[in-house]
Amino acid sequence: MSDLTAVDILIEPDTDSIERARAVNRRMPLSIPAGITLDDTHLPHITMLQRYLVTADLDAAYAAIERTLAATDPALLSYHVPGITYSEHWGPPGQAAAVLGVRPNQLLLDLQAALVAAVAPFTGSGGTDAAFVTDPGQHISQTTKDWVGTYVPDQTGANYTAHLTVGLDTVEHLKVLQAEPFDAFDIRPAALAVHQLGNNGTARKLLKSWPLGT
């Protein structure tokens, strides 16, 4: 067992939102070798926080997260999805990660800050491939490892760009999707969960979940 576990503390969307994400994912071309198919081990999700947690302290970290959630009213948590966008950060030239850009309300931003503080005593650094879920013969990209290691502060607070990744696609095709009409919708968080990460920020293995009752 690895000394560190790479985790994604994430929001699981409601059923309707998951189906909207999978519908977009089904339009991603299968010709991209690193393409993502949203399935039972590639969960549509909205990342709140990524960290390397000390494996031996996972239960203590879960308890700290649960205490944090107890101080939050889940009925007030929400995201608005105005459309499809993309990020060329993950892909090779000409390809990009397709995402549904989501706008968190202030309570979600406050929850993120509280989660950062809650798991800080159990956080490590320098995670290797062993900290992640890998398929046979797979190696975790250095970009993925660095992203987790620097998520705080690079992707938190004022730097947080909430999104729901829906696949990898060519930039050319993503521009076509962006130009199409899009029915904006709201996401109601169904659960907060901790997943072990795979390559490219995928949520591969459920470790712990707390229903939010919305």
Q: What is the mean pLDDT of residues 1-27?
A: 89
The set of residues, in sequence order, having a beta carbon less than 8 Å from that of 181 and lying 6+ positions away, is none
99 lies in which domain range? 4-211
What count of other Cβ atoms lies within 10 Å of the Cβ of residue 93? 7
pLDDT digits (tens, 9 = 90+) for 116-155: 999 999 999 999 999 999 989 899 999 999 999 999 999 9
* pTM, entire model: 0.83
pLDDT digits (tens, 9 = 90+) for 80-104: 899 998 877 655 788 888 888 888 8
E strands along the chain, which residues?
4-12, 46-54, 79-87, 95-104, 123-124, 163-170, 185-187, 191-197, 203-211
Yes or no: say if 123 and 65 are a contact pair by the CB < 8 Å rule.
Answer: no
Yes or no: say if 36 and 26 are a contact pair by the CB < 8 Å rule.
Answer: no
What count of other Cβ atoms lies within 10 Å of the Cβ of residue 176? 11
DSSP string, 8-62: EEEEEPPHHHHHHHHHHHTTS-TT-TT----STTS---EEEEEEEEEGGGHHHHH
Rounded distance between C-alpha atoms, residue 87 and residue 21, angstroms: 16
Yes or no: say if 119 and 61 are a contact pair by the CB < 8 Å rule.
Answer: yes
Q: Which of 32-36, 49-53, 65-69, 154-158 has the lowest mean pLDDT?
A: 32-36
Question: To which H or E segment does residue 148 belong?
Answer: helix 142-149
The set of residues, in sequence order, having a beta carbon less than 8 Å from that of 33 and lying 6+ positions away, is none
- Confidence label for 191 from pLDDT (cuts 50, 70 and 90): very high
Q: How many domains does the chain have?
A: 1
CATH at residue 31: 3.90.1140.10
